[in-house]
Each structure stands twice: as structure tokens, then as C-alpha cells.
Amino acid sequence: GVLLPHANRSFFGTSLIAIQDKAQENGFAVIIGNTKYDKHTEKILIEQFMQHQVAGMIFTGCHSENEDFIHGLIDKGIPCVFTWETFSNGNFSYVGFDNHAASYRMTEYLIELGHRRIGLLIGPYSKSSRIRARYEGYKAALKKYNINYDQSLVIPRVPSLVEGREAANTLLDLPDQPTAIFAASDSLAIGALTAAKDKGMKVPKDISVAGFDNVEFASHCNPPLTTIQVPAMDMGHRAIETLLDMIRSGINEVRRYDLETDLIIRKSCQPP
């Protein structure tokens, strides 16, 4: 069983392809559930997976209010592996990366270019610890450089091109516009590029735009998008290999893999 916020997002799809290919090679079928970042949907899907007697589960993070429920599954011996984030909790096996550090790094890069009003387009951070870590990384970088946090510059939206366009328009309509937009998802970032074009603005001359994920089309934007490289394929491969090992061995000991991210600098950012 594989739980995703949205299976149709390209950045999750890359991991999903890796998981499905390896599972099929080893005689396993994959059941996919879309949580839509909703805690009730997530819990219902987990219960349905259990009714289907799945051999194990791979999570793309989880809703914070369901952590105790998932703890119960692990305590019962159900193999579970988390992806796309890391956990300080000693009970969770994961193959992930430090979202806080990656977000901090991108925000710091924009600050070092000279930006002081940096808009943040981000997923629903109140519902996901993974997204919350990106939000906190942004705030931590502002604090480090003595830049006041401005709530009006932060817009949470479900990652998509349409949502990114609408959210960026909100930022660009502010009396005191940001000089840069950090979108914590490439889908939101590309939507922001469209919003800037709608208003006759040139990127990066009039506003810088940065993303997160380095999906395939990020390098083909106009201009090519500065973003964070996420090891999506590697995460999928390692997650399914870890899960298969837990299933075959019958040993449910905690396994942890911390993967690296990279700052990919392209042409969508410059000093203000």
C-alpha cells in the first residue's frame, strides 16, 4: 500500500514509478491511495489497506494527528516506511531528506542575492510535518539574517499550476510587493512565473522566482527555474527495497536513510 497526497503530481509520480517497478519485479502488486492532505481520508485509506491485508505500507509523510494511529500499526508488526521527510521519532523507518535544511538553504540564497521581502508559496503546512518543516526553514533563515517575518507574504495552497498563479497574483497585488518569490513546490513556482507574465513583469529582472523539487520541466521554463533538487527516484527505490527487506526478514527494526538535496541555480533569480 502506498499513500500519497496527490498521485497525479509529477514529483510524487517519480517515486511511485520506482516503487511500482521494484514491487512488480518481486511479485507484489501496489495499491495507491490519495490522502489529499486530509487526516480522515488518510485514516480511512490505511484501514482499507489493512482490510486488504497488505504486506506493508509506504507513506509520503502523514498527517500529524494520525501519528499515534500509525504507531499502533507498527507496534502490531506492520512494516511501514516513510518517504520525503525525516523523523526524530525513534519508531518510524524512513527514506527521506531534511526539508527544513533545504528550505533554509533556498531562502538564504535569495537573501544573499540581496532580497529582503521574500514571498513564500507553500503547501498546507498545518496538515503536514514535511511541509511545516519547509515553512520553518524559511522562517529560520529570515531570523538568522534579522529580517522581520511578514505573514502577508506567506500563502499556503495545494501545489498546482493554477494555485501557484493565483497565489502569486495575491503577492504581486500587495502595495509593497516582494522582490522574490520562493515557491516550496515547482508547480507553484511555474504558476508564479505565469502570474508575473500576466502582469507584464520580467523574471528575474522585475521579480525573482525559485522553486523546490526540480521536476523535469523546471529546466525548460522561460527562464529556467532555480530550485532544490530532490532525490525522488532514489527515495522510491530505497523505500521499496527497505520495505521488501522488512517483509521478507520479518524483522521490523527501525531503518533510517538520510538523502541529500542540492541547490540548482538557473536563470530565474538575480539581485533585486
Q: 250 in the Ramachandran plot: left (φ > 0), alpha (ψ -120 to 50) or beta?
A: left
> Which of 268, 154, 174, 259 shows the shortest CA–CA distance to 222?
268
User: With 80 as the cut, is the pLDDT of residue 175 above it?
Assistant: yes
- Predicted TM-score of the model (pTM): 0.92
pLDDT on residue 65: 81
In the predicted model, what is the mean pLDDT of the chain?
Answer: 93
Q: Does residue 9 carry a pLDDT above 70?
A: no
Instruction: Dump pLDDT digits (tens) for 258-271.
Output: 999 999 999 999 99
pLDDT (tens digit per residue) in 36-60? 888 899 999 999 999 999 999 999 8
3-class secondary structure per residue, 216-258: HHHHHCCCCCEEEECCHHHHHHHHHHHHHHHHHHCCCCCCEEE
Residue 94: CB atoms within 10 A of its CB come to: 26
Q: Are 196 and 209 in contact (CB under 8 A)?
A: yes
Evaluate whether 206 touches 180 at the Cβ level (below 8 Å).
no
Residues 6 or more apart from 8 whose CB is under 8 A from it?
A: none
93's enclosing H/E stretch is strand 93-96
Q: What local confidence, expressed as pLDDT, does residue 71 receive?
A: 86
The strands making up 93-96's β-sheet, listed across from edge to edge, are 32-34, 2-4, 57-60, 80-83, 93-96, 256-258
Strand partners, 164: none
Distance CA 93, CA 251 (A): 12
The pLDDT of 99-104, averaged and rounded, is: 97
pLDDT of amino acid 45? 95
Query: Does position 224 have pLDDT exceeding 80, yes or no?
Result: yes
User: What is the pLDDT at residue 82?
Assistant: 93
Q: Is residue 163 pLDDT above 80, yes or no?
A: yes
For a pLDDT cut of 70, what percent of the chain falls above it? 98
On the question of pLDDT at 10 being above 70, the answer is: no
Whether residue 149 contacts residue 155, with contact meaning beta carbons closer than 8 Å, is answered with no
180 forms beta bridges with 118, 208
76 vs 88, higher pLDDT = 76
pLDDT for res 12: 80
